Structure 1
Amino acid sequence: MTVTRAAVKVVRLGRISYRSALKVQQQHIKQHLDSSSCSPNTLLLCEHEPVYTVGIRRAPHPPEEEQRLKALGADFFRTNRGGLITFHGPGHLVCYPVLNLACFKKSVRWYVCELERTVIKMCIQFGIEASTSLDTGVWVGDNKICAIGIHCERYITSHGLALNCNTDMSWFDNIVPCGIVGKGVTSLSRELGRDVPTEEAVPKLLEAFTEQFNCTLIYN
């Protein structure tokens, strides 16, 4: 029996504000919720202007804390994704899969695990040994290289993963990334000892995503 591979459209948004990318996600989510079919599944790729985002497992962030972070030159958003506070900015490859899990497997746990395995597989292509831990995301030792935080409504996914490529890591010094005390963050550039821009990581991430999700990518 031939198994039909799901089609996933790749959309490159370039460098975009978090607010604008959120609107694009919401448009694609609405298309899914208004349709009974398995399409269009979409993979939104972008970099953000500096922004701190907080997920639904939020620790208290009083107005003065929000203002402190904004004073650094970053936006601040409270979101409906899983997880705690993190940072996105230039040099950060952000991937928002807006998928109907009915086209894959109707399991949120499975989906998150596949995202983690996708990033681990991509890291292997760079010669980096990465792994998961009890804390969501992908790690190199005790340092997180990729944060994962998703939302799922009626098996339609949104938000996704953020991979540190050649990010200015000093932005993370202003927060406790993902609320995890005693652990740090790292990047492809830091691990490899050379500059690794997002453009170098994109094809490897897409290749790993294709294999892990057994899908066919469609480019604009």
Structure 2
Amino acid sequence: MSTSRPLVTVVRAGHHSYTAGLKLQKHLAKSKQNIDDFAEFRNYLVLQEHDPVYTIGIRTKGYTEADEERLRKLGADFHRTDRGGLITFHGPGQLVAYPILHLHQFKLTMRNYVGTLERMVIETCKNLGIPNANTTKDTGIWVGDYKICAIGVHGSRYVTTHGIGLNCCTDLKWFEHIVPCGIEGKGVTSLSKELDRHVGTEEASRTLLKSFSQVFDCRLEEQADSRVCDTI
């Protein structure tokens, strides 16, 4: 493999269910490649939107089967996952990005990776016109007391899965039925709300890709055909 910057294949998976997104993610993370030989690992960045769904990470913090039933009655799906973080919402108007990377290629530890992911989102928000997006003691990216992007990742054998949910033009009313990410007394915002104009996922994805290549110091290539997405 070349000693140049790592190559990441961008997969535009479109709008689908959370179950389909997980299936695609699993396929890419465990596809026919020797994970032990990290130099041969093919990295991906999956961009997608989900049907309405509430997801919980490995720390459930009090959400019971009764809560799950209550949330399903709102018309959303519900999933328990192996990512970090607490409960959050994904739905139309939110850009969900799954970086599936072998960290050895990027010379990153898992902790460094999370920090780099945070910087990438902050840079994306800045380039879109929100200069005060930042990290706090709580997870995610914030604009004051309002979370604009949820972050929840998983790592196995130095390969990352899951990722971020950046609110672009998301219907924020979905968040009113939960305590987002388990953080009391704070709210949720979106790019559209902060900029007082419509910001769709397509516009946000263009900016995010530029920030991703710069912050992760990598090369990006677009998936040339639909064969990867056909797995879902």
Q: State whether residues 152 and 158 of structure 1, in contact with CA within 8 Å, keep that contact through their aligned partners in structure 2.
A: yes
Who is 2:44 aligned against? Answer: 42
- The yes-or-no answer on 1:213 pairing with 2:219 is no
Q: Mapping of 1:163-202 within 5 angstroms?
A: 163-202=166-205
Who is 1:59 aligned against? Answer: 61
Distance 1:125 1:192 in 2: 12
The superposition leaves residues 51-88 of structure 1 with CA deviations (integer Å, 9 ceiling, x where unpaired) of 00000011122111100000000000000000000000
The superposition leaves residues 25-45 of structure 1 with CA deviations (integer Å, 9 ceiling, x where unpaired) of 101111277442432100000
Q: State whether residues 32 and 156 of structure 1, in contact with CA within 8 Å, keep that contact through their aligned partners in structure 2.
A: no
Distance 1:105 1:215 in 2: 12
Higher mean C-alpha deviation, range 3-12 or range 31-40:
31-40
The superposition leaves residues 80-104 of structure 1 with CA deviations (integer Å, 9 ceiling, x where unpaired) of 0000000000000000001000100
Distance 2:148 2:87 in 1: 15
Unaligned runs of 5+ in 1: none
Q: State whether residues 38 and 105 of structure 2, in contact with CA within 8 Å, keep that contact through their aligned partners in structure 1.
A: no
1:22–1:77 CA distance, 2 compared to 1 (3 A): same
Q: State whether residues 38 and 104 of structure 2, in contact with CA within 8 Å, keep that contact through their aligned partners in structure 1.
A: no
The alignment-based identity, stated in percent, is: 55
Deviation of the 1:49 alpha carbon: 0.1
Q: State whether residues 56 and 79 of structure 1, in contact with CA within 8 Å, keep that contact through their aligned partners in structure 2.
A: yes
The superposition leaves residues 94-137 of structure 1 with CA deviations (integer Å, 9 ceiling, x where unpaired) of 00001000100241111001111001111111220211011121
Q: Mapping of 1:24-39 within 5 angstroms?
A: 24-31=24-31, 34-35=34-35, 36-38=37-39, 39=41
Residue correspondences, number: 219
Who is 1:83 aligned against? Answer: 85
Who is 1:8 aligned against? Answer: 8
The amino acid of 2:18's aligned partner reads Y
TM-score normalized by structure 2? 0.92
Give 3-state SS (helix, strand or coil) of 2:31's partner: helix
Q: Mapping of 1:47-126 within 5 angstroms?
A: 47-126=49-128
The amino acid of 1:90's aligned partner reads P
TM-score normalized by structure 1? 0.96
The amino acid of 1:206's aligned partner reads L
Distance 1:167 1:22 in 2: 21
Distance 1:80 1:33 in 2: 22
The amino acid of 1:138's aligned partner reads I
